[in-house]
Amino acid sequence: MTKLTHLTIKAALEGLKKKEFTASELVGAHIAASESARHLNCYITETFDSARAQAKEADARYAAGKALPLDGIPIAMKDLFCTEGVQTTAASNILRGFVPPYESTVSGKMKADGLISMGKANLDEFAMGSSNTTSAFGNVINPWKRKGDNRDLVPGGSSGGSAAAVAARIAMGATGTDTGGSIRQPAAFCGIAGIKPTYGRCSRFGVVAFASSLDQPGSFARTVEDNALLLRSMAGYDPKDSTSVNVPVPDYAAACGGSIKGLRVGVPKEYRVEGTNAEILALWDKGVEMLKDAGAEIVEVSLPHTKYALETYYVIAPAECSSNLARYDGVRFGQRSAGENLIETYENTRAEGFGREVKRRILIGTYVLSAGYYDAYYNQARRVRKLIWQDFIDAYQKCDVLLTPTAPTPAFAIGENTQDPVTMYLNDIFTIPASMAGMPGMGVPVGLSADGLPLGLQLIGKPFEEETLFKAGHALELAAKFDALPQLLAA
């Protein structure tokens, strides 16, 4: 039998139902795997004891024939979701020791469906980054390595701990949040699948805010269908989040396996940007062929404002972050570095509590929002954002879904891309436009680079039509047959 840690969520649920193994065994196997993979630094806080206790409860429900929909499945919870009674840090020193008195809507829904959190997954500080190297709790290591090169690689970011945990088989799935690519890019770097649903699909209540008009929870798993199971649990209207949208949540798993005959797949010409790795461009062509062979109709489309997306994002996201992070003042949450007076306490707390990248974003954000520049930068960026959104709406006249690369390069070594922040920001060139427009995006692992690293492709869909993404993503997955294992596990 396949090792318990290598099962898909779907197969594990079948095994549990047939009593081939217990939830305690399943969770136990993942705890053992986590303990031997501690060097990856996937978790900021491990919650193994409560996971064991929850597994026992799941076993009792299975025995009584009253199992919950996803009962007993071990997952990793990005440490940006507030979890009642469990430290929630956003990977920042400023929140070290913060124990929320309440649960985020998404993590609460998942718990109610029987999912078991193994721990709070590491991330870039406040989800700002593309490599999980800005965490105050240390770097996360990607379980993949280049052939013949022993250097540690980044897992991508910001949801690096979540993605690495799923790739390393220490969790069967994970939550992430995606503001500009933080689910799709780490999924690509770690050779797994992930989805950022439409903005408004999952509640942001209880998720530590970075840029509120962009932040969206989503999932990671090793297959498209496993993501469908997780997203169904996470999604849904929440009156506690004013941007949550009241539309029914379909059975996403039912969309997996459907025919894509006649599906119109758009290939945006503007995504052929200079600097993209040649292997990724070749993989993109291959992906187009795969979908065509499965019955899709391929159409070339244009998203002319793509070239402004990154710049616009780096005005809007820092602006919103500077406002959201103003609440960390040393009075209400986490760290306090007392000074002579209140102002000095604010200054000391924020100087010591925030890392370099977070400070950079706050500075940019306060600058673009300052009285003299508000119109020139912030308002102008909002106008361009509207044009980016309009590009997608126009393209969807001609196609149902878009196929693009996910990231311009495979995973890089720690320190390789950190000389200047702009090189790092370029990582999200293909993921940011969909974020700016609020469109759903899915990352699917499709191939390996010549030096043995996973490469992924991105599908972007119409608002609230995640089912089309699941259908197309599943077809791509079937054709790609990606079954390579990270060196950590192959060895």
Q: Does residue 182 bind ligand GLN (CB under 6 A)?
A: yes
268-327: contacts with ligand GLN (CB under 6 A): 317
Any bridge partners for residue 77, and if so which? 120
**Sign, Cα dihedral of 156, 187, 250, 78:** negative
Q: Is 3 a catalytic residue?
A: no
Q: Which of 344, 333, 298, 322 is nearest to 472 (CA)?
A: 298
**What backbone phi and psi angles, to 5 degrees, belong to 308?**
-100, -5
Angle of CA points 125, 205, 82, to nearest 5°: 50
Helix count (H) and strand count (E) of the chain? 17, 11
Burial (CB < 10 A; 0-12, 13-18, 19+), residue 212, is: middle
Is 323 catalytic? The answer is no
Indicate the residue among 114 and 180 with the shorter CB distance to ligand GLN.
180
- 213 as an active site residue: the answer is no
Q: Indicate whether 158 belongs to the interface with ligand GLN (CB under 6 A).
A: yes
Query: DSSP letters along 381-399, please?
Result: HHHHHHHHHHHHHHHTTT-
**Which one among 15, 100, 155, 181 touches ligand GLN, defined by CB under 6 A?**
181
Torsion on CA atoms 81, 83, 86, 92, rounded to nearest 10 = 20
For the CB of residue 130, give the shortest distance to ligand GLN in the complex, in Å. Answer: 4
Min dist. Cβ of residue 243 to ligand GLN (A)? 16
Binder to ligand GLN among 428, 465, 467, 477 (CB under 6 A)? Answer: 428
**Candidate segments 8-16, 87-95, 128-136, 291-299, binder of ligand GLN by CB under 6 A:** 128-136
What Rg value do the Cα atoms of the chain yield, rounded? 21
* Stretch touching ligand GLN by CB under 6 A, among 82-90, 121-129, 299-307, 473-481: 121-129
Q: Tell me which residue has tokens 């959104």.
A: 389
Query: How many amino acids of this chain bind ligand GLN (CB under 6 A)?
Result: 13
Give the count of alpha carbons within 13 A of 77, CB side only: 36
CB-based contact 82:177 (threshold 8 Å): no
Parallel/antiparallel/unpaired status of strands 401-405 and 264-268: parallel
Among residues 45 and 185, whose Cβ is nearest to ligand GLN?
185
Residue 369 or 485 with smaller CB distance to ligand GLN: 369
Give least dist CB 133 to ligand GLN, A: 11
Residue with smaller CB distance to ligand GLN, 177 or 349: 177
Nearer to ligand GLN, 22 or 130 (CB): 130
59 binding ligand GLN? (CB under 6 A): no
In sequence order, the 6+-apart residues with CB closer than 8 A to the CB of 214 are: 179, 180, 199, 313, 316, 317, 320, 435, 436
Nearer to ligand GLN, 210 or 430 (CB): 210
Q: Please state the closest distance from residue 345 (CB atom) to ligand GLN, in A.
A: 29
- By beta-carbon distance, which residue lies closest to ligand GLN? 182
Residue type, 346: Y
Q: Could you say whether residue 180 binds ligand GLN (CB under 6 A)?
A: yes
Residue 435 beta carbon to ligand GLN: minimum distance, rounded to whole angstroms? 7
DSSP state of 6: G
Dump strand ranges (E) for 24-105. 43-46, 74-78
Q: Which of 158, 162, 322, 435 is catalytic?
A: 158
What is the nearest approach in angstroms of ligand GLN to the Cβ of residue 211? 8
Residues 192-211 that bind ligand GLN (CB under 6 A): 210
From 182, 244, 322, 435, the catalytic residue = 182
State which residue, 180 or 405, has the beta carbon closest to ligand GLN: 180
Residue 86: CB minimum distance to ligand GLN, A? 21
Residue 354: strand, helix, or coil = coil
Residue whose CB is less far from ligand GLN, 346 or 412? 412
Positive or negative, the Cα torsion across 27, 28, 29, 30? Answer: positive
Minimum distance from residue 174 beta carbon to ligand GLN (Å): 15
- Please state, in angstroms and rounded to a whole number, the distance separating the CA atoms of residues 251 and 13: 16
Judged by CB under 6 A, the residue of 127, 296, 310, 368 near ligand GLN is 127
Which span (178-186, 218-226, 243-251, 340-348) binds ligand GLN, by CB under 6 A? 178-186
**Among the candidate windows 39-47, 122-130, 337-345, 374-382, which touches ligand GLN by CB under 6 A?**
122-130
DSSP labels, 283-349: HHHHHHHHHHHTTPEEEEE--GGGGGHHHHHHHHHHHHHHHHGGG-SSSSSS-----SSHHHHHHHH
Binding window for ligand GLN (CB under 6 A); candidates: 124-132, 226-234, 448-456, 467-475: 124-132
Q: State the nearest-atom distance from the C-beta of 180 to ligand GLN, in Å.
A: 3
Active site positions, annotated: 78, 158, 182
State the residues that interact with ligand GLN by CB under 6 A: 127-130, 158, 178-182, 210, 317, 428
